Chain A
């Protein structure tokens, strides 16, 4: 307040006006703070709800009931397409014309014959019998049943023509087209056909990558933290290491991808798209995070513990391994889990080392071609089909589920083992 304020009496009109203005400013400032938090929370809610509303239907998949006869001759010819189609046509005896029957064929997934083949391989005794089987519907039919495609409007602009809609309606009325739990999503690898695409391959790839990351970055990170915190002399060299680690933690992740591309693929000639390389790159990326959090945990162990151990004759290394490390372990673990969660959600560096390839098979080893969950999300997000949008959201939900699980574990560990000295 200015010097002239001294002239006015504290009960004067001018004083009251200034006070009101100051209180109004106070209120507005507080409201601005609340608004900021409200906006942040709103964005979170919008983000999560848009993903859930886009994707929850992906956990169901339309299935069509077909009575098929596993004719011996046809099975021997491996002509499962014919077996399936005969069963399908039998449900529509009134449709005999070629073009109309082609429309019927398009109701089923192009992978449906393979389902029949798998059934025969599993149980050869069904050859020659007639069975009721449920096969996956085509993704467009699936989306139509879920109500994403309109049934009105000009036929040319619709995804499904009138004949197809009529056939779908007939099947639904008979109870031969229902939605059931989408097991394919959890058991299959990638596919160009949405109804045959699953995330199991990506989950396995993520697990393999994460295992490599963990087995490298956790021991190296803890060892580096122990050295820097407990043994390192304070000199220029350790200062350099420290500054270096702090800067490395803030280097953009895509740079680590370039490093992996140039060094692991270019120089060492390791295979592209392999979980081994992905894990190596992620390990280098998470290392600074783990070192920093482990150092914080080590720092929080009081010096009296070390002095007591040294006082009764333990060597410095014994002091650390027998006393300091076990006491710091909960904190280190928490930091490690959070670092791993970050690695699980990371995408950009893996694009650089070729984990973005279209891979149908489930990976079995460290050097198999594989993809990971976030990259799978990235690839599906690029696919124009509505069914892939839905599956992308579902994959995001599963990824977020894993992340919540890991972070929840970290919080639980912190709450359970945290010690205040």
Chain B
């Protein structure tokens, strides 16, 4: 609530600041705005920035640190019998306090001290909210007054405002870098925690995957085992099936559309592939699980084959269909980039259209097509919903497409869904898998993008 009010006050003050700066600048030269260094609206922006920016920084810093600070104060006030424990019990305690404070039932009888701590937490939180509101709005008002003082004919308002804007632009373009850094760090950090419990060699080369941890120490098979080879094999199997479907169909449609189809036909065919590309993956997953899997199963039974109801084949085929437009639009670009002179030369020697395509256009476009297929492979490896819904959950080291296999993404999704505890090797293993997935797709993409770029330069 306080945050909404604060945002409204800040918005109001910046608008007032803008108006004030503009009118004051015009008044300072008696309405002859040509005597100003910058046009009045830049003076307006100048004051508005003074009103808005410091308060915005305070707001961001405050909200980022508030939760941690308040929690530390709460923990400090707790009796020591609760706070002396290992990190795991401490994080559990924090989660309990947060849950009770937010009115979520923890499902068990709560310690009266914890309940009191939750109350304390809420009180501190409210105090913090109100003080942020008061301090934030006064900071904005101060900034406004300070900026307003500077207004005058000699103020280089435009240069200053543009400087702030260009810094803001640079910061925005760095968000993408920060995202990558965030991905790498978070994956690395959690994966290292996982690898401190499970050896990387066992993870990468082990052939038995059963991440279930025991509830009690004396339970049979209590350790859980994290050999990810079956997952890699399952991912590979489904990817290969998807590529077998997507590459010929995607490539041939691209060839037909760019070399044979006349423009009218193309305007009708292109949207079909675009629609295929626009369908959400969860819809493909539903289709794979409820239409394709029973169909494949019945077909298999008619042929006397034993097909699992979660066969790799059905998930792979549907994934292939999903990737067709991806392959076809990338190859379309590549084929169109082959210079017309190459084709004309081939026609001039008497080659037919298909001979020209097979012996001139495709070899010339080959690097680009290979890159397109690599991008498609990286897409297939990272695809989650189709395999989560239509492929199996149990690890199975097989090359038989009629059996159920599981994939890396399926395991990541199932390991992390609905699981609150964040410390067991079971949940952390998802980050290990995520790291492998990220590195594999990243290297595929890097190489493919480099190849595409080289290829473009060749014919530009």
A binding-site residues for B, Cβ under 8 Å: 22-23, 25-26, 28-30, 32-37, 39-41, 43-44, 46-47, 50-51, 54, 219-221, 223-224, 226-228, 231-232, 240-241, 243-248, 250-259, 261-263, 266-269, 271, 284, 287-288, 291, 315-317, 341, 344-348, 351-352, 354, 356-357, 374-375, 377-378, 381-382, 389, 392-393, 396, 399-400, 403, 407
Give A315 to B161 CA distance when docked, in angstroms: 12
Give A351 to B321 CA distance when docked, in angstroms: 24
User: B18-26, B249-257, B394-402: which one contacts chain A?
Assistant: B249-257
Q: Are A247 and B252 in contact, with the CB atoms below 8 A?
A: no
Residue numbers in A under 8 Å from B158 (CB-CB) = 315
Q: Are B413 and A348 in contact, with the CB atoms below 8 A?
A: yes
Interface residues on B, range: 35 or more
B56 within 8 A of A: no
Q: Are B102 and A271 in contact, with the CB atoms below 8 A?
A: yes
State which of A351, A352, A375, A392 has its C-beta within 8 Å of the C-beta of B286: A392
Residue numbers in B under 8 Å from A23 (CB-CB) = 352
Q: Are B166 and A244 in contact, with the CB atoms below 8 A?
A: no
Give A267 to B65 CA distance when docked, in angstroms: 11
Nearest B residue (CB) for A221: B172
Q: Are A255 and B382 in contact, with the CB atoms below 8 A?
A: yes
Given that A241-B174, A247-B442 are known contacts, is A258 also in contact with B430, CB under 8 Å in the complex?
yes
Q: Are B382 and A374 in contact, with the CB atoms below 8 A?
A: no
State which of A54, A257, A377 has its C-beta within 8 Å of the C-beta of B282: A377
Interface residues of B in 388-432 (CB under 8 A from A): 388-389, 409, 412-413, 416-418, 422, 430-431
B173 within 8 A of A: yes
Q: Are A258 and B186 in contact, with the CB atoms below 8 A?
A: yes
Nearest A residue (CB) for B448: A250
Give A71 to B387 CA distance when docked, in angstroms: 54
Q: Are B416 and A223 in contact, with the CB atoms below 8 A?
A: no
Residue numbers in A under 8 Å from B170 (CB-CB) = 227
Q: Are B321 and A43 in contact, with the CB atoms below 8 A?
A: yes
Name the prevailing secondary structure of the B interface residues: helix
Rounded to whole Å, the gap between the CB of B106 and the closest CB of chain A is 14
Residue numbers in A under 8 Å from B378 (CB-CB) = 250, 252
Residue numbers in B under 8 Å from A252 (CB-CB) = 378-379, 381-384, 409, 437-438, 441
B binding-site residues for A, Cβ under 8 Å: 64, 67-68, 98, 102, 158, 162, 165-166, 168-170, 172-177, 179-180, 182-183, 186-187, 189-190, 248-253, 255-257, 260, 269, 272-273, 275-276, 278-287, 289-291, 321, 324-325, 328, 352-355, 357-358, 375, 378-379, 381-385, 388-389, 409, 412-413, 416-418, 422, 430-431, 434, 437-438, 441-442, 445-446, 449
Rounded to whole Å, the gap between the CB of A376 and the closest CB of chain B is 9
Q: Are A247 and B446 in contact, with the CB atoms below 8 A?
A: yes
Q: Which 9 A-B pairs have the closest CB atoms?
A: A252-B382, A33-B256, A345-B280, A36-B252, A262-B186, A29-B354, A223-B172, A348-B384, A227-B169
Q: Are B382 and A251 in contact, with the CB atoms below 8 A?
A: yes
Residue numbers in A under 8 Å from B255 (CB-CB) = 33
State which of B173, B183, B252 has its C-beta within 8 Å of the C-beta of A241: B173
Q: Are B279 and A341 in contact, with the CB atoms below 8 A?
A: no
Residue numbers in A under 8 Å from B174 (CB-CB) = 241
State which of B187, B251, B290 has its C-beta within 8 Å of the C-beta of A381: B290
Nearest B residue (CB) for A230: B169
Rounded to whole Å, the gap between the CB of B215 and the closest CB of chain A is 22
Rounded to whole Å, the gap between the CB of A102 and the closest CB of chain B is 33
